[in-house]
Amino acid sequence: MMKSLFLITFFFFSISSWGSSCCGGGSSSSMIITGDNVQELNIGFGHRNDLGQTDSAGWASFHDSRTKDQQSSLSIQYQRMLQDQLQLGGKISFIDKNLRKQGRVENKSGPGDFEVQGTWEFLPERTYSFIKPRGFLYSKFSLPNSKSLYDSHSVIYSDVRGSGLYTASLGTFFLKRFSLLTLKAGAEVQHLFGRTFSEGKLDDYNKFILPLGATYSFDPAPISWGLNSTWNYQTKKKFSGTINSVSAKEYFWEIGTFINWTVNREETWGVSYADSTIVGKNINSPLYRSFGLSYTLATAL
């Protein structure tokens, strides 16, 4: 009964510590080859620090010095061209969570969700156009690889490294280069399939993600710098069990920046920073900051 009550409380004031890429809150897919490469291997390390949350009115509540909610992740991502306009990619990750909440201190590690994605470039750039962008359509499927909030063995959910739900996503991504400047935009809808747990049944629900970004290349220097923003929206969740409840909707903005250093034609290093505390009115959402380091090894066409 106590666990059910805590689940409902978490339901309305959740801190999504698994969110997105590495340690962000939620981002559209990056498993897309946009350069002249036949395959790409990316290894990334990230660290995310959750600072607090916002309520249904948008008021922020920050953790005090006695509370810590952090996670680090190591991810391996691979994508390959199958044909001229078709791609296939996959991603695995390992996550370490370090929590100090409610008088408890727990540190647990394990694999994150496994993702596989197929991509079709439906709008290729055969000849140069000042207006027309390149366009990609992708479908992604995520397999849960850890406990969920509803069958966790920990009161503070240290063994939760994902939603615990199977997820199907459909998205689109557009890219347009203007000499040294590249503009990017996309949209992704995620459908999370409900499950029956010992505490009750969680119905299906959806998420929507809208990313925007711009990158500037300091040619001839092998350095590029970018800014991006991502709007994340989650529909209401209905849980039926010992206590029936319907959660409020959730939405928030994430602002990020990154710097890439191209070592040579095949290798690129990158550092990134993301923050959900800077812009927008956030509702029932996490407040976090995250840092990332990545290495990409590409094989040219």
The distance between the two most distant Cα atoms of the chain, rounded to a whole number of Å, is 64
Q: Please tell me which residue, 235 or 197, carries the higher pLDDT value.
A: 235
pLDDT at 27 over 90: no
* 154 vs 72, residue with greater confidence: 72
Domain boundaries, the chain: 2-300
More confident residue, 47 or 246: 47
- At residue 288, the pLDDT reads 97
Percent residues over pLDDT 90 in the chain? 73
Q: 2-300, what's its fold? A: Lipocalin (2.40.128)
Distance in angstroms (rounded) separating the CA atoms of residues 118 and 87: 6
| Cα separation, 248 vs 56, whole angstroms | 7
Stronger pLDDT, 119 or 21, i.e. the higher one = 119
pTM score above 0.85 = yes
Q: Is the predicted pLDDT of residue 17 greater than 70, yes or no?
A: no
Which residue type sits at 264?
N
- 205-220 pLDDT, tens digit each: 999 999 999 999 999 9
pLDDT number for residue 12 = 37
Residues 6 or more apart whose Cβ sits within 8 Å of residue 256: 24, 227, 228, 229, 230, 272, 273, 274, 275
pLDDT band at 162 (very low <50, low <70, confident <90, very high): confident
Q: 202: which residues sit within 8 A by CB, 6+ positions away?
A: 150, 165, 194, 195, 196, 237, 238, 239
**Bond prior to 220 in cis (omega within 30° of 0):** yes
9, pLDDT greater than 60: no
Q: Which of 19-33, 69-83, 148-162 is the least confident region?
A: 19-33
Helix (H, G, I), strand (E, B) or coil at 277: coil
* Position 118 pLDDT exceeds 60: yes
User: Please, what is the average pLDDT of the chain?
Assistant: 89
The per-residue pLDDT for range 258-292, each reduced to its tens digit, is 999 999 999 999 999 999 999 878 999 999 999 99
Which pLDDT does position 128 carry in this prediction?
A: 85
Angle, CA 252 vertex, CA 250 and CA 255 arms, to 5°: 160
Give the model's pLDDT for residue 273: 98
Residue 23 pLDDT grade (very low, low, confident, very high; cuts 50, 70, 90) = very low
pLDDT at residue 29, rounded to an integer:
57
Query: Do 113 and 144 form a contact (C-beta atoms < 8 A)?
Result: yes
Q: Is residue 6 pLDDT above 70, yes or no?
A: no
Minimum mean pLDDT among 6-15, 96-105, 289-298: which range? 6-15
Q: In this structure, are residues 112 and 144 in contact, taking their beta carbons and an 8 Å threshold?
A: no
Please give the structure tokens belonging to residue 170.
């459909």
What is the distance between the alpha carbons of residues 143 and 113, in angstroms, rounded to a whole number? 6
What does the block give as tokens for 140?
A: 């992604």
pLDDT 10s digits, 33-90: 999 999 999 999 999 999 999 998 889 999 998 999 999 999 999 999 999 999 999 9
CB atoms near residue 248 (< 10 Å): 14
Pairwise CA distance, residues 162 & 146, whole Å? 6
